[in-house]
Amino acid sequence: MKLSDKIYVAGHRGMVGSAIVRKLVKEGYTNIIYRTTKELDLRNQQEVNNFFATEKPDYVFLAAAKVGGIVANNSYPAEFLYDNLLIQSNVIHAAYMNKITKLLFLGSSCIYPKFAPQPLKEEYLLTGELEPTNEAYAIAKITGIKLCDSYRIQYGCNFISVMPTNLYGPNDNYNLTTSHVLPALLRKFIMAHNKQEPTVTIWGSGTPMREFMHVDDLADACLFLMRTYNEAGFINIGVGYDISIMDLAKLIQKTVGYEGKIITDPSKPDGTPRKLMDVSKLNSIGWQAHISLEEGIRQVYEEAKNFNCNWSYA
């Protein structure tokens, strides 16, 4: 990749897309293009085709997607499947039609079977049933992987796929209805600390294990792979270690300085028991994560505490 190459970041306002833009700017890339949803609806094939025909990007980071936590996935499965299928199909096909140099498609660790062996190796894809609470999203992302591989096989397109672990960082979603677990817990502890509430309730039993990566590490990995990786299939991106939800809650509690009690709510779903990515493939080609979970949480806490006054306490 030359610093002057035209690079399209789809989903630049999201947590992942904005991190990729920050990384590209930091590295000196000067020809980055993007559009807001109002300017370009990626679900509309004609709009996408017109955009690619006009702009002719050299490289594409496909980070645009409809995303959310357990509640959102359970409540809007049709939207998660339909919107994501349209977004990725339109962008991937337009990239092929306009002969771009390379495309990187971002998936999710939820593509793996619910009870797959741990840690999750790339070859475990499609070896068992999916977690029901995010099945629609997972099916869409699996389709994206297969679509990239199919265009590679049939047309020779250099389309690669990466599967990030659970992410957090700047521009995260703190809506308690649609957010993922880490930002939801951070918001809960900040609110409880500010209101001096005696308890904070966490969903489920607190026993599920999760791996968390700062989104700036993901952006660094994506640029590394865009520069160096050209294989079919997909590659995991993660930190290589996990933590229980209860221990995560305790770490956030310590960071925020909250002195109350943590209560579990077993009536709420736990989701997949464990999701730890096997990152030996990524490590073997020369990339490792750099931001520890403790340091990463401290960073996002400093950001989140400055705007929590706008949150509803209902």
Catalytic machinery residues: 137
203 is in an annotated binding site: yes
41 is in an annotated binding site: no
141 is in an annotated binding site: yes
User: Distance (Å, rounded) from C-alpha 76 to C-alpha 81?
Assistant: 9
DSSP-assigned letters across all residues of 287-308:
------HHHHHHHHHHHHTTTG
14 is in an annotated binding site: yes
Buried b (16+ CB within 10 A) or exposed e, 152-174: beeeebbbbbbbbbbbbbeebbb
Burial of 46 from C-beta contacts in 10 A (0-12 / 13-18 / 19+): exposed
17 is in an annotated binding site: yes
93 is in an annotated binding site: no
16 is in an annotated binding site: yes
**Distance of alpha carbon 124 from its chain centroid, rounded?**
19
Burial of 186 from C-beta contacts in 10 A (0-12 / 13-18 / 19+): buried
180 is in an annotated binding site: yes
Our CA angle for 313, 76, 184, nearest 5°, is: 30
15 is in an annotated binding site: yes
What are the residues facing 159 on neighbouring strands?
103
270 is in an annotated binding site: yes
109 is in an annotated binding site: yes
Burial of 82 from C-beta contacts in 10 A (0-12 / 13-18 / 19+): middle
13 is in an annotated binding site: yes
Q: Where are the beta strands (DSSP E) in 42-140?
A: 59-62, 102-106
107 is in an annotated binding site: yes
User: Distance (Å, rounded) from C-alpha 179 to C-alpha 160?
Assistant: 27
43 is in an annotated binding site: no
Residues 62, 86 contacting (CB under 8 angstroms): no
Annotated binding residues? 11-17, 106-109, 141, 164-167, 180, 188, 203, 210, 270
Annotated binding residues for substrate? 188, 203, 210, 270
Annotated binding residues for NADP(+)? 11-17, 106-109, 141, 164-167, 180
